Structure 1
Amino acid sequence: MSNLFLGIDTSNYTSSFCLVDEQGKKQMEIKKPLTVKEGRLGLRQQEAVFQHVRNMETVATQLNGISGVIRGVSSSVSPRKVEGSYMPVFVVSRMLGKLIAGLLHVTYTETSHQRGHIRAGMEDLDPIGDSFTAFHLSGGTTEALRVDVLAETGAFNEKMVFESSDISIGQLIDRIGVYLGKPFPSGPALEAMLPKERGREAFDKRHYKAFFREGQLNLSGLETYLKKQLDQKEDPQKVVFLLFENIIQLLEKMIDEITEQKEEDVLFTGGVSSNEYIRSRLSELYKNKKANLYFCKKENCTD
């Protein structure tokens, strides 16, 4: 029987389980999204913890049919791999990982939610170098990190380059989406609203309200501006267009600052990175610039 390794992640959005073989290839994946009531912007931590626990019965049933022997277990135990990074939801993955590893008498290791996103983004990206910049764009995070892969083990270290000082890009998208009456998370619903033909020629400097200067990133002003546009009965489709073009210009400014001195490999991961409009617009912008853009597979962007 083949040797398998189990990864567990219990985030604010999804109960996630993945089995890989000794080569790191996925053999089974289980994702159970958490349920958010209409009109709400996510779950309180105690609600999310309860849903994760409730999802365990379904997950246990599916894992019961695996073909192979689990030789190791790894759990996401914090949002980031830095001191003080903590969320109660990750207590579920820690407890479950320790329990399974203890019962099976196998190795147990701990990692962070963010490292899981970066590792998922690196899957099947052979051309990417041993040092690159990773943009983690998700419901709770907008960060650019310098990633250095250790040749001996394949593990990596990450160091913060830029981060949002208030809300994340994912939070901004969800807040505008819920304000428009869309379900949470709102990314797919807002992407479907984007006009097919409108390009940057319809977006001028007056519309740019995101803030990025000297490494500081701020999005709350953009949120206020977009909601004001909606309150003034602006066409919702145009407001959504302004939202995404602001995001693209913001990311462009950040990438340009990172690549100002030299050419750089840039990886995009996290749920927001699955947005086709963002992927295609950035790819178009960087056809002839100093950044080599890589995008996580869409199925691996989410938690």
Structure 2
Amino acid sequence: MKTSVYLGIDTSCYTTSVAVLDAEGKLLGEARRILSVKPGRCGLQQSEMVFQHTRNLPELVESVLQGHDYHIAAIGVSGYPRPIEGSYMPAFLAGLSVGRSLAAATGAKLEIISHQENHLEAGMWSAGGPGAERFLALHASGGTTDLLLAERREDGRYNITQVGGSMDLHAGQFVDRIGVALGLQFPTGPALEKLAQTVATKAELPVSVRKLQVSLSGPCTAAVRQLVAGADGAAMALGVEHCLAETFARMLRNGAAEYGVHDVLLVGGVGCNQYIRSHVEAKLGQRRVRLWVPEGRFSCDNATGCAALAWRMNLHD
């Protein structure tokens, strides 16, 4: 007897991902591959992303499906960056084309969602919540620093409204600009976190928060100036972590008060950072606001949220 499964596919700016859940919502397998960026570069062109995703996807899909007697009940795929009209990025076409083709070939139901919704679904699936009908989510990555209000709909999905965020640089851009200046390989988040763990004293950087809007260009400029003046690299890495952690904590505290919510979900690659997580959790706890954090590998780019949405919507039906 074939095992009914739910397949997820996500092709973000820097990671190709696939995942498979069973009928109980348990992870049966997942595979991901970070896109290759040449040393010293700070990113990829969209054409390079599409090429690498197109090359990666067959191998990754084969790795999670081959050798198993699976019946694909539904497929979830990220088709665009955000759940707003006109949101578009070529990188997601690679995953969308594979998802649509598999659905047509197998008769599986196809759920097309945004990359941002994928992050929220992966976060809730891994963290086990929030279960509230209404909560805040902070999506902090290289391409977003978005404060979102999530409200459950009758069909089981969520209305997601951006209510705050960065007015200039995104959190991941801040990390990567300083990380590259420190000689770290792009994307620099994991290496910067390890470097920060080697010191106890942090470089002092400004924090700019106005209610639900934040600015990271000023802190980034200040960090670069200090490095040019000879600041210690490890202390600067810790300073960047603290600046982001305090920025997030203030914005989330303000958002929870304004919208009367008591639950916050933190997702995105920057949300994997343990220093940031601990600082934000402690600050929000003082206001009796609970921070939900997924396991680190399900906070950064992955396809588990797409699979989880396909699974959850099938249960709802």
1:210 to partner: Cα distance: 3.6
Contact 2:37 2:186 in 1 (8 A): yes
Kindly provide the CA deviation profile for residues 82-134 of structure 1, in whole angstroms up to 9, marking residues without a partner as x.
01111100011111111111111222221000000000110142464221100
Query: Percent identity between the aligned chains?
Result: 35
Contact 1:131 1:147 in 2 (8 A): yes
Contact 1:255 1:291 in 2 (8 A): no
> Does the alignment pair 1:231 with 2:228?
yes
2:102 aligned to 90, 93, 100, which one?
A: 100
Q: How many Å separate the matches in 1 of 2:286 and 2:279?
A: 13
Change in CA separation of 1:221 and 1:129 when aligned onto 2, cut-off 3 Å = same
Q: Under a length normalisation based on structure 1, what TM-score does the superposition of the two structures give?
A: 0.92
Kindly provide the CA deviation profile for residues 217-239 of structure 1, in whole angstroms up to 9, marking residues without a partner as x.
22112111111111111111221
* 1:259 counterpart SS class: helix
Q: How many Å separate the matches in 2 of 1:133 and 1:55?
A: 34
* 1:260 counterpart SS class: helix
Name the structure 1 match of 2:282.
284
Q: How many Å separate the matches in 1 of 2:108 and 2:256?
A: 43
> Does the alignment pair 1:40 with 2:45?
no
Number of equivalences = 297
Change in CA separation of 1:95 and 1:295 when aligned onto 2, cut-off 3 Å = same
* 1:77 counterpart SS class: strand
* 1:36 counterpart SS class: coil
Q: How many Å separate the matches in 2 of 1:198 and 1:286?
A: 23
Change in CA separation of 1:72 and 1:195 when aligned onto 2, cut-off 3 Å = closer
Name the structure 2 match of 1:61.
62
1:118 aligned to 117, 120, 127, which one?
A: 120
Name the structure 1 match of 2:181.
179
Name the structure 2 match of 1:137.
140
Q: Which has the higher contact order (CA 8 A, sep 6+)?
A: 2
* 1:158 counterpart SS class: strand
Q: How many Å separate the matches in 2 of 1:179 and 1:96?
A: 37
Contact 1:270 1:301 in 2 (8 A): yes
1:195 to partner: Cα distance: 4.6
Q: How does 1:207-246 map to 2 (within 5 A)?
A: 207-246=204-243
| RMSD between superposed Cα atoms in Å | 1.9
1:141 to partner: Cα distance: 0.7
The unaligned stretches of length 5 or more in structure 2 are 302-317
Q: What residue identity is the alignment partner of 1:9?
A: D
Kindly provide the CA deviation profile for residues 124-175 of structure 1, in whole angstroms up to 9, marking residues without a partner as x.
424642211001011111011011123x543211111112222210111011
Range moving further from structure 2, 119-128 or 139-148: 119-128
